[in-house]
Amino acid sequence: MHRSPGRSSRPSARPSARRRVAVTGASGLIGSALVRSLRADGHDVLRLVRRPAATADEVEWDPARLHVDAAGLVGVDAVVHLAGAGVGERRWNETYKKEIRESRVLGTRAIAEALASLADPPEVLVCGTALGYYGDTGTRAVDESAPAGEGFLPEVCVAWEAAAAPAEAAGIRVAYARTGLVVARRGGAWGRLFPLFRAGLGGRMGDGHQYWSFIALHDEVAALRHLADTPGVSGPVNLTAPEPVTNREVTAAMGRVLRRPAFCHVPAQALRVVLGEFAGDVLGSQRVLPGRLLETGFDFAFPTIDEAVRAAAH
């Protein structure tokens, strides 16, 4: 599962044989890009779907009922678990917060238990989690050694990762991919920013001093494959570029790359009115470093915010 070069000319450090990989969340921003990358390199990909499987490359599952067609996972070498309700898709209320939590915790538990039940389980489970684990770090830079923060998202992330315990107990190597804000033209937080900045309506949010830990979509996919391919890498791994930037710096980079004015300003109070409780996370600061990812020899293709935005824009 070596990295496809994509826009970067840098080759993968480790070529690998054809493998069979199962992916949850395969229709999402990251999952769909991962599936394309794997298939382009000749790997067999199984997509977990929430309906009866209609094709040979589908496996039925229902995370809410803790159901996975485990028979469909026989012979799988690796599983990348990315499914979960979108954190920023809707205004938070208690009902949606419950959906956010259960979609992650129950989904992870279902996958972990299904894999543990196999007579010959896969060698690795890459479980996508989030930098929300650390909460608001302010200007303090943190890596994987930092404890969990306080609040709803850190609590979700702690329970999310704990739900993979059955896979670990079965001897499966489990890596927790704590992902930052993915820079992509369509989908995710940046998918909402691009149209605004192209229209000249982009600008800082709040005072703009809050840190955003970002990662280019290309590097996110490459990092997930790197975790699956690299023996011995387990536990939490931050998937974020090596140089977190402030919201002001993001605004400036978007303006430079897209050649549009970026003078608009969204006051903190306006964000709270529109987003409700989620505004606290938009205005919060996360200065997170990819310590373990760099230690394992991962090479970023788009390490800076200008490079990441430029890659997404074209």
pLDDT tens digits for 167-211? 999 999 999 999 999 999 988 888 888 888 898 888 888 888 999
- Helix or strand holding residue 121 (H, E): none
- Indicate the SS3 state at residue 48: strand
Handedness of CA 264, 269, 270, 271 (dihedral sign): positive
CA–CA distance, 257 with 272 (Å, rounded to integer)? 29
Please give, one letter per residue, the 3-state secondary structure of 187-214.
Answer: CHHHHHHHHHHHCCCCEEECCCCCEECE
Which DSSP letter does residue 88 get? T
- Indicate the SS3 state at residue 91: coil
Maximum C-alpha span of the chain: 59
What pLDDT sits at residue 264?
86
| pTM: predicted TM-score of the whole model, two decimal places | 0.91
CA–CA distance, 156 with 100 (Å, rounded to integer)? 8
What pLDDT sits at residue 223?
98
Measured in degrees and rounded to the nearest 5, phi and psi for residue 177 equal -90, 95
For residue 1, what pLDDT band results from cuts at 50, 70 and 90? very low
pLDDT tens digits for 90-120? 777 889 899 999 999 999 999 999 999 999 9
H helices of the chain, where? Answer: 29-40, 94-116, 152-162, 165-169, 188-198, 217-229, 247-258, 268-275, 279-283, 291-295, 305-313
Superfamily classification of domain 20-313: NAD(P)-binding Rossmann-like Domain (3.40.50.720)
CA–CA distance, 189 with 10 (Å, rounded to integer)? 27
What pLDDT sits at residue 74?
97
For residue 155, what pLDDT band results from cuts at 50, 70 and 90? very high
Tokens representing 290 are 């990819």
Q: Per-residue pLDDT averaged across 266-273, rounded?
A: 64
What pLDDT sits at residue 201?
85
What pLDDT sits at residue 282?
64
- CA-nearest of 15, 224, 238 to 124 is 224
Tokens representing 46 are 């199984």
What pLDDT sits at residue 189?
80
159: which residues sit within 8 A by CB, 6+ positions away? 101, 104, 105
pLDDT tens digits for 29-64? 999 999 999 999 999 999 999 999 999 999 999 999
What is the residue-averaged pLDDT of the chain? 90
**Helices H, strands E: what count in the chain?**
11, 16
